[in-house]
Amino acid sequence: MLAIVCPGQGSQTPGFLRPWLELPEFHSRMAWLSACAGMDLVHLGTEGDAETIKDTAVAQPLIVGSGLVSMLALFAHPVEGFRSVGVGAGHSVGEITAAASAGVLSAEQAMVFVRERGAGMAQASAVTPTGMAAVVGGEAKDVVSHLEALGLTPANMNGSGQIVAAGTLEQIERLKAEPPAKARVIPLQVAGAFHTEHMTPAVERLSVFARAISTHDPRIPLVSNKDGLVVHDGTRVLRRLVSQVSNPVRWDLTMETFKAMGVTGLIEVPPAGTLTGLAKRALPGVETLALKTPDDLDAAHRMVREHGQVDTDLEPAWRLVIAPAKGTIERAPLDEGDTITPGETIGQVVTARDAYNVVAPHGGRIIEWLVSEGDPVSPGQPLVRLHPKEAQ
């Protein structure tokens, strides 16, 4: 199974777009997304210095735009990607790239949304001097307790021994002076305490814009960085894109879901490197590739062929409904032969603390249940097989 992952802020470096401009149509596509974003992304990605592209209002559209256009170099047509990719996800702002690539938003909607996200977060960051720092090493539980004692938020739980702390600059300085046991602190080149309560004004701003955005259900399974759940509903994806601005990123849970789903290959789109580094440590045995320049495309196309799940049948004989989370299944009173409608809830996955609805993205006639009442299930596990032509 092939996973495509999209990086977040901090992954950009000066000039990273330069080699991509050698590809046919890359310049014109980036120019079009520049118009949507209201800034010259081609210039910023080639000539912008480190300080310029560190600006939140600049960095976020630049990262999403480059990821979307590079996806077209990876797959000649979106349908090819939908047939090959088993799962997608994005880290922080990269979740917008993933959502648009999965068909939830159009590229134009994504660029307007990320423009407003970046501007809103930049304004929120200007209210109080805040920042972030990576804490590498130490016991995760001890690190979190130490951060909370200093008034900091564990804003990114990245797995592989890395937790990103966020808070005021004063709190960050104290963390540097008093690191957790067996851990080191690395200040990050970001302009605010992202994914914390400091970003609440940006959430309010995005909530207004989100009400005017139409969505589609994702064409591939999307794993949410909020909690590692597989999200099938487009409106729910959009709501999570809004709320994640002030909520911690749980990339550790995202990678646990990849493991449970059986991911064998992982490609990170530009500006690539950070997420593949985390995956190499957290997902042993999974082939990874950071798509940094067009020179990496041959290796990427090979991985698509070897790990992708190509389905050439445009009229499938059946479809699967999969589990959104790890837990036990409670089935709705539906039997084999019953017909369900698109968006219908067919049961719940129950965990120790929560219950998550199992929603059928497609309607159809139930051919067979693949699990029994009370069975343990994992994220992405098939639950029901449907015959699609019976959906009316």
Q: ∠280-232-104 over CA atoms, to 5°? A: 90
Taking residues 86-101, report their average pLDDT. 96
Q: Which residues pair with 166 in a beta bridge?
A: 132, 153
- Give residue 369's Cα distance to chain centre: 30
The answer for residues whose C-beta is within 8 angstroms of residue 9's C-beta and 6 or more apart is: 56, 59, 60, 63, 92, 93, 190, 194
pLDDT at residue 138 tops 60: yes
3-state secondary structure of 269: coil
Q: Residue 125: helix, strand or coil by DSSP? A: helix
Residue with tokens 């062929």: 305
Q: Is the pLDDT of residue 391 over 90?
A: no
Query: Which amino acids are annotated catalytic?
Result: 92, 195
Q: Give 220-273 pLDDT, tens digit per residue.
A: 999 999 999 999 889 999 999 999 999 999 999 999 999 988 899 999 999 999
Q: Provide mean pLDDT across the span 21-40.
A: 93
Query: What is the per-residue pLDDT across 172-230, written as a single tens digit (0 to 9) for each?
Result: 999 999 999 999 999 887 778 999 999 999 999 999 999 999 999 899 999 999 999 99
Domains of the chain: residue spans and CATH: 2-124+197-307 (3.40.366.10), 126-187 (3.30.70.250), 319-390 (2.40.50.100)
Alpha helices in the chain (DSSP H): 26-37, 41-46, 50-54, 56-74, 78-84, 94-101, 107-127, 140-149, 169-177, 200-210, 234-243, 251-261, 274-282, 297-307
Q: What is the pLDDT of residue 195?
A: 94
pLDDT digits (tens, 9 = 90+) for 339-353: 998 889 999 999 988
Report residue 312's pLDDT band, with 50, 70 and 90 as the boundaries. Answer: very low
Interatomic CA distance for residues 189 and 329, integer angstroms: 44
% the chain with pLDDT above 70: 97
Looking from the CA of 98 toward its CB, the CA atoms found within 13 Å total 31
What tens digit of pLDDT does each residue of 56-83 get? 999 999 999 999 999 989 987 777 888 8
Give the phi and the psi of residue 159 in degrees, each rounded to 5: 75, 180
pLDDT at 158 over 60: yes
